[in-house]
Amino acid sequence: MKSYLLGIDIGTSGAKIIIIDSEKNGEIACSVNKEYPLYTPKPLWAEQDVEDWWNAVVLGIKEAVSKIEAKPEEIKAIGLTGQMHSSVFLDKDNKSIRRAMLWCDQRTSKECEEINETVGEDRVINITCNPVLTGFTAPKIVWLKNNEPENYAKIHKILLPKDYIRFMLTGEYATDVSDASGMAIFDVKNRCWSDEIINKLEFSKEWFGKVYESPEITGYLLSNIAKELGLMAGIPVVAGAGDNAASAIGNGIVESGMVFNSLGTSGVVFAYADKPIIDPKLRVHTFCHAVPGKWHIMGVMLSAGGSLRWYRDTFCDTEKYIADYHVDDAYNIISKGAEEIPIGSEGLIFLPYLSGERCPYADPNARGVFFGATLRHTRKHFSRSVFEGISFGLNDSFDILKDMKIPISTVIATGGGARSNFFRNILSDITGYEHCTMKNDEGPSFGAAILAGVGAGIYKDVTEASKANAVIVNRNKVDKENHVKYEKYIRVYRDLYKSLKDNFAKLSEIE
């Protein structure tokens, strides 16, 4: 009998369902994506319907199981992952009270200030190892209290995206330490809910589920759901992890010196840590890792692949038309054009702050900017400047890790953008670090499936399982001459934010 593991990722653009063969070194048997909409009812707001997530998961699992003709008893365990911070509010009937506010939603600046005043900024940082930021979950709860008191009064449970899917699968309210770390109510050093913060903010501890380490079993597949999905009742569902911690498991980031650079909707630079290390300047996050008893340091830019997608959809109808005609991908056409342009885009610089920014600037007012345009610049110049601007933003996090003396020996490029050799070359040249890619590039969903295997006893532990399934297949080396040239552009890129910061704030006040 075959032995499969199922991973579910509740991403921002859609749900990804993968099935891996645990008897073939984690070989991916099937991968299915199901998209769903994102709503922006006001500038800098971002919301989704939880029903869309669940419908996508149901359809995705059915399709995946059907594709490989898996027998119900061959699926041994289920692992979960998803976007962090986003808030799911359930009433006493377990119905969603309102659309979930997402990780990139920037509406809660005043609520962040309120939390700091109520709890004390130093206490928040000491307990959570992070400043409270607009994208985190706690300020969303306070926002609901301040702006939708009728909805706030209905709260029975508050869940993160993957944990809503867990509830639908098992009937259990639970989360894991990595995902809980980004809620601004979690004691990251001691890996438990902070009674102090919860009490001072007048939240109910009953709103939040039990916290587990990532490979622990949190419940079992309900019989009615199993029947709907075509699976066996009683399949174990493990705690899983937030998307970046899960991606780290899939990419072998389980020991000192290992770092990944993720090019998804957001951009993430993620480093393993044996202990919770806090950046004195609070530019990056310190969260619990999916490896039990370990932590990670993480820099996040809010619009990495999101900037590229915006650029494609807003300015590249021609490239999309050509891609459709040649049965190609529009991003490939955009990349080919950008490759014709010299490094530095002949003085055109893009600031990728389309959703505000988190690292190194916790600034919800920051905006996207093209700077330095001249009559010489073509659309191909603008294309290259977007790739470079995203890379400049990610480079900020690498420099912070160096400031913190976090060892960097191997950098793994992951996420959809990392499939571009052109993009990886730019990243290597700008950061000064060789970027590698893995045999399996499914990211968080792959890590979730590995965690499921640990929970089911198929693998000994998380570290062993991660190393066994993480195989490097490609290396993009650094062009030292290009690196030196890029350093000059990096200085201008950083000065631009400083010179525009006050005007970003003024613009937000006008709106």
d(CA 344, CA 116): 41
d(CA 421, CA 427): 10
d(CA 443, CA 242): 12
To the nearest 10°, the Cα dihedral for 228, 229, 232, 235?
-120
Q: Are strands 285-288 and 267-273 parallel, antiparallel or unpaired?
A: unpaired
HSE, CB side, 13 Å, CA atoms: give it for residue 10: 36
Adjacent-strand bridge partners of 219: 237
Which CA distances in Å does 234 have to 11, 18, 222, 397? 26, 20, 6, 43
Instruction: Write out the two tokens for 243.
Output: 């998307």
d(CA 243, CA 320): 29
Instruction: Write out the two tokens for 499.
Output: 């010179």
Q: b/e string for 488-498 if b means 16 or more Cβ within 10 A?
A: ebbeebbebbe
Residue pair 385/345 in contact by the 8 Å Cβ criterion: yes
- Whether 243 sits among the annotated catalytic residues: the reply is yes
Of these residues, 9, 243, 363, 396, which one is catalytic?
243
Residues 6+ apart with CB under 8 A from 496: 349, 351, 369, 371
d(CA 134, CA 244): 19
d(CA 95, CA 88): 10
Amino acid in the structure at residue 35: E
Give the residue ranges of DSSP H helices in 265-420.
305-315, 317-325, 330-338, 379-403
Adjacent-strand bridge partners of 28: 20
d(CA 400, CA 283): 8
Active site residues: 243
